[in-house]
Structure 1
């Protein structure tokens, strides 16, 4: 919690425009001024958005890895964020929707549809981590091609979505943070409530039934939680990859595989990673900034290759 608090302070205090500690303090609690506009209307909503989105993506990644038994599962890699992105591009480009409250429902529908499609294409109950990853990569490519086509065909969509498509915390107003809170809160509560049942499901369907767990119901409820978390996060700030992959692995090294501990820690440590990447992008990109989606991709790429190689070595050792 102390690390999270430190990152929250850094996110409010640091940015493309340098402010002293006194200016930040007066910007938060003082009279209206230029510093107040920067801190209250830009950095504070951005920090709260990063807190919600980080918690959503971290917990969604932990649930997906447990549900699919795939150590490489991530909302971005398996195409769920791409499904939400394609739905939002359709809502904004074809239907002219500009408010989060309008197109978030499209994002949720797109995330749910792609979740089911990846599961079916990947082999259903017989899916392997490799097949799920390949199915997600194929759908990712197709859906992001569609998003790019929508942006090129409509100059208005291009202007509105050019930062959103790479993943950014900069463009969402405070109203978006308030509007996405019920979706993220519901998804987090549902995911945490499923922790014990997902632990039982990891033992196999027969063992789970012996412990009083209904595997089909748990899977449906878990996908509802992932859809709420990923759909709301993507609608608010665009597709951000690798947060849901990295954080559960880092947390698992501290807590072990028990989801009753892993998921709450993911909800705390994922915002640390996301806001830390956002602050890093603001500092390195001065006088502009690097979008947080770019920073997480640079950090997560080597992490993904490491775990993909380790999983391959483990499979070879078993054979």
Structure 2
């Protein structure tokens, strides 16, 4: 064999390389494809919930189911959008608006109303007035605490968690004290407000909630091109021409309204946002808000509507879906803390 001669025949050396087969793993799907898949699953979940085991008087049963579905869709949208935007401006994926003591404040408001004016007074107050009081107090609290913590030059995660723990502990302590002073009959009335419930939501309040969420969504739509820049950090965003203080303030207002409306309408859902936001990040993998936001919302609809279908039709659980969600979300929160998955 002479020098410079290939040891292999030309048919082998010039053979084309075998192409790899396209991967069928979930990571191979594009964000747009995930949005399409999740949209189909969300629509199927809604269709199943509205039609499965539908009997009796349709004029009575079907409107109630539609009302519940609209409530769950509104909650999924509010929680998904507010959590993703909140994590964008805070710079980590373990914080959610509810972890900052929102559920404890809601419980304190409910306990205070029953303690000071009684269950009969709460009924006489009316659902609309009660909803307005709860929403105003929660939005004011969230606005004050978020503005203080997240509009400065730097934010310590440990400080944020500490503030959330302190406020949550304080609110729960006051609530526990007031609950011990209540009459047993009054406490039984209060128990219904301790867990999120998607049943028997007032139709008028649902309409008001849609209007408020729609107005907040207009702000989100106007700022949509700046969210990806905000995710790069405060200094980078300012160097790229973003009015950081103004945009962050607007986002905090939106988060306050969305979470306040959601909590006042159905009750506290502490870890639901943590679940849907982090699943959206895992599926999207490119972290563009135009992909992450709709994926988080669709995941929320599937979790709420599809989860309710599974609980009612498959397992026949006599429990609230929010309890299962809170259990799963609490486990995810602990796992993320132990693994240090905060960025």
Give your verdict on TM over 0.5. yes
C-alpha distance in 2, partners of 1:285/1:125? 50
Q: Rg bigger for which structure?
A: 2
Q: What is the SS of the residue equivalent to 1:164?
A: coil
CA deviation profile, 1:199-221 (whole Å, cap 9, x unmatched): 22222333322332111111111
- Structural RMSD (CA): 2.9
C-alpha distance in 2, partners of 1:119/1:134? 16
Question: Offset of 1:159 from its aligned partner?
Answer: 4.2
Which residue does the alignment assign to 2:172?
144
Which residue does the alignment assign to 1:26?
none
Given candidates 107, 122, 134, the residue that maps to 2:162 is: 134
Q: Residue 200 and residue 241 in structure 1: after superposition, are their counterparts in 2 closer, same or farther (change >3 A)? A: same
Q: Residue 268 and residue 215 in structure 1: after superposition, are their counterparts in 2 closer, same or farther (change >3 A)? A: same
C-alpha distance in 2, partners of 1:304/1:100? 33
Which residue does the alignment assign to 2:222?
193
C-alpha distance in 1, partners of 2:183/2:253? 32
- Is 1:175 aligned to residue 204 of structure 2? yes
Q: What is the SS of the residue equivalent to 1:170?
A: coil
Which residue does the alignment assign to 1:162?
191
C-alpha distance in 1, partners of 2:327/2:314? 13
Question: Offset of 1:284 from its aligned partner?
Answer: 6.9
**Which moves more between the two structures, 250-259 or 146-155?**
146-155
Gaps spanning 5+ residues in structure 1: where? 24-32
C-alpha distance in 1, partners of 2:116/2:324? 30
- Is 1:66 aligned to residue 88 of structure 2? yes
Given candidates 300, 304, 311, the residue that maps to 1:270 is: 300
Which residue does the alignment assign to 1:29?
none
- Which TM-score applies when normalising by structure 2? 0.75
Q: Residue 82 and residue 2 in structure 1: after superposition, are their counterparts in 2 closer, same or farther (change >3 A)? A: same
- Is 1:10 aligned to residue 48 of structure 2? yes
Q: Equivalences for 1:212-251 in 2 at 5 Å?
A: 212-251=241-280
Which residue does the alignment assign to 1:28?
none
Higher relative contact order (CA 8 A, sep 6+): 2
Which residue does the alignment assign to 1:27?
none
Question: Offset of 1:171 from its aligned partner?
Answer: 3.0
Residues paired across the two proteins, number = 297
- Which TM-score applies when normalising by structure 1? 0.80
